[in-house]
Amino acid sequence: MSSIKLFQDKKIRAQYDEEERKWYFSIIDVIEVLSESSNPRRYWSDLKRKLSKEGFDQLYEIIVQLKLESPDGKRYKTDCTDTEGLLRIIQSIPSPKAEPFKRWLAKVGYERLEEIEDPELASKRAREIYKAKGYPEHWIEKRMRSIAIREELTDEWKERDIKGQVEYAILSAEISKATFGLTPAEYKEVKGLKKENLRDHMTDLELIFSMLGEASTTEIVRTKDTQGFKENKEAANEGGKIAGNARKELETKTGKKIISGENYLTADKKKLSDK
């Protein structure tokens, strides 16, 4: 499970390790928030040398490289560390935000443990975040359902020998291309998005057809008992075509395009509910 955590409206990329039951955070993102440096990568490079000179021999033992999504939509190996490692690094960054950040770290860890015990809490918190951003209730309901449908599909892929984020991304692009005629990257260009989550900027109908494509794929995967990447890619294309044909039929009947350039970048811009 990977996620974006917010600290004072700043994005911190994070990934949860289910086996170790702890979060790993992008060190670069944390440094950018705390140091407010215009070049956080250079700051981190200099800090590593400084910590090594100070005798912090365990520095490289607490760093792991995880593939996290970058603003260009691609996933790159990124220096990450757990809560304990971050606390040690934070001590070497002079910042008035250090103490609030430590409290934020503790809160993030505690909330994840709560969600493991009661999965409904994760859903409730997601709803609260969308509501706070100004999304209308009817949209939030569809978005939450789309998350559930997506998880159901990825769970099936996991059981059918689909390996790594690259294969997941290819299969997802296959469904999107068959549903909308666009890959997720192309779709983001239509909406003028960069690092934002595409589905968080979809209209009601766009969400509905994306759900149909993934739900159809899940049903085909189960019925055919697809195994491996090749069979699942074919199923993804078939599932996407079902949604794509339904989209085209609706467009023919209404004379309106489903694919929209509308997005939801900021609260003071036009809201989805104003459509």
69-87 burial, b at 16+ Cβ within 10 Å, e below that, comes to beeeeebeebbbbbeebbe
CA distance linking residue 3 with residue 209, whole number of Å: 24
Query: Does pTM surpass 0.75?
Result: no
What digits encode the pLDDT tens for the residues 194-251?
767 899 899 999 999 999 999 999 999 999 999 999 999 999 999 999 999 999 999 9
- Residue 40's alpha-carbon distances to 87, 108, 261, in angstroms, are 17, 23, 33
Residue 9 φ/ψ region, left for φ over 0, alpha for ψ in the -120 to 50 degree band, beta for the rest: left
- DSSP calls for 45-68: HHHHHHHHHTT-TTGGGS-EEEEE
CA distance linking residue 162 with residue 258, whole number of Å: 31
Which range, 49-63, 119-133, 164-178, is most confident?
164-178
Query: What confidence tier does 179 reach under pLDDT thresholds 50, 70, 90?
Result: very high
Looking at the chain, the whole-number percentage of residues with pLDDT higher than 90 is 36
Nearest to 33 by CA among 100, 126, 122, 121: 100
What digits encode the pLDDT tens for the residues 86-118?
888 887 888 877 777 777 776 665 455 445 445
Identity of residue 208: I
Angle between helices 27-35 and 83-90 (to 10 degrees): 30
Q: Sign of the CA dihedral 132, 135, 138, 142?
A: negative
CA distance linking residue 4 with residue 15, whole number of Å: 8
Q: Give the mean model confidence (pLDDT) for residues 258-266.
A: 79
Per residue, the 3-state secondary structure of 130-166, as one string, reads HHHCCCCHHHHHHHHHHHHHHHHHHHHHHHCCCCHHH
124 Cβ contact partners less than 8 Å away, ≥ 6 residues apart: none
Residue 236 φ/ψ region, left for φ over 0, alpha for ψ in the -120 to 50 degree band, beta for the rest: alpha
